[in-house]
Amino acid sequence: MEASDVFIAIAYLGLLSFIIAKSKFFRIPFAKKSLSLILWAVKVMATLSFLLIYSLYEPYQKGNDSRVYFSDGLVLHETAKTNPDAFLRIMFGKEYSQDEKIISKMNYWNRSYDSVVPNDNRTIIRINVLMHFVSFGNYMVHLLLMSFFSFIGLMALYKSVVLMNNKQKWISIIPVFLIPSTIFWSSGNIKEPILVFALGMSVWYFFKTMSYFKISRLLLFLAYMILLFTIKSYVLFLLIPIMMGYLISKRTNKIPVWAVYSLSYLFMISLGLLVAYIKPSYSFVHLIYTKNLDFINMVNTFHSGSTFAIPNLESSFVDIMLNTPLAIFNALSRPWIWEADIWPKLLAAIENVFLILAMAYLIYKIDFRKSIRHSFFWFCLIFAISLLALSGLVTPNMGALVRYKSPALPFLFIALSMFGEKWIFVEQRIQRLFKL
């Protein structure tokens, strides 16, 4: 790392901080401007931690995804100078056979297994290519830009909470901006920052469109949903039934909200099973089964030290449902304290303990009579549980599990911290803490 690289990174940090300080989008309602900068500073600290751990800590120095996406993006960026036609073909997915020599230089462009869902590796590589045009080949700038994208997504999620439940404006700062694993994993040059960006913006524009329809809002909502499909298609498929449930619940008062969401999910499951009957390779059951099998085979091949046993799923909807409770339990609790053989794993285990204790406290204190009547409660809770279940079903690696479940945690704790007079004193204390 050269002094010029540090200088460029500091310059970018100053520019991004200036944008956050001046843009109305980043303004936390009812708080001074400095709060947004403080939350951004926390995000920058997570970015610096990611850089140091994956640059200096020996077990993570080699082969980490963040560096590979950066180098693969550099390969394609250099192609823009030497062979612009090939560059455009590859960027737009129209490559010819003669472009194979360029593609072979990239480690993650082609994945090791076939699937009907989009290759999300290519999305991240393409984003890295675009960043190379402005980053001067500086890896730290890529990390800062990715962290900035995810900060936009988190801010959009927070604005969604304020829009849907104004009484939650202070307490929701904690689950959105301060859960350690969420801010850490959304601060690297990996898929999670773009996932958080696309997810947050999709949710925000969905609720904005529902509150006041404008064609521009609808188009932006669709654009972010398309980005979500290209980066993590399964997250999009988890969102569709709960968005459908929200739409229906807002148009009828005759059916309990929980029943509306249940029927929406049952409808989407039935549709998925029908698709499986017509086209088995497009079945969500088959996709979960193959992902589970591929992950288990991969960890058995490479003998990763952070693995734990999960069931070998059968290509059966019933088998997936039977294993879902264990999957959710694993997603919430692994790694356990006694499984922590290295300090990053110990930090993840300690976080799990605190999160489980916080969940128990919130469940004890929450006013469920109010919560279950509010559609936003079910929206957040069902999405979080679905993402936790899916992560636990397919992931036998503790490091990957902590990473995959991180976008679900804000939604889970937003749901559990909703409603009731019991939270007035908490809101007041947090207000005194954050109203700088």
What's the pLDDT tens digit per position in 324-374?
A: 999 999 999 988 888 877 888 889 899 999 999 999 988 888 878 888 888
Q: Is the pLDDT of residue 38 over 60?
A: yes
Under DSSP, the state recorded for 397 is B
User: How far out from the chain centre does Cα 385 lie?
Assistant: 14
| Domain residue ranges of the chain, discontinuous segments joined by + | 251-436
Q: What is the pTM of this model?
A: 0.93
Rg (CA), the chain: 22
CB neighbours of residue 85 within 10 Å: 10
* Alpha helices, DSSP H, located in 212-232: 215-231
Is the model's pLDDT at 75 over the cut of 80?
yes
What pLDDT was estimated at residue 169? Answer: 79
Rounded to an integer, what distance in angstroms lies between the CA atom of residue 369 and that of residue 46?
A: 38
| The predicted structure's pLDDT at residue 65 | 85
| Average pLDDT along the chain | 87
How is residue 44 written in tokens?
């920058």
Alpha-carbon span 133 to 165, nearest angstrom: 41
Query: What is the percent of the chain with per-residue pLDDT over 70, rounded to a whole number?
Result: 90
* Distance, CA of 126 to CA of 180 (rounded, Å): 28
Asked if 177 contacts 132 with a C-beta cutoff of 8 angstroms, the reply is: no
- Which token pair is 256? 């309990």
CA pair distance 388, 408, nearest whole angstrom: 7
Report the chain's terminal Cα–Cα distance, integer Å.
Answer: 37
Peptide bond into 396 cis (omega under 30): no
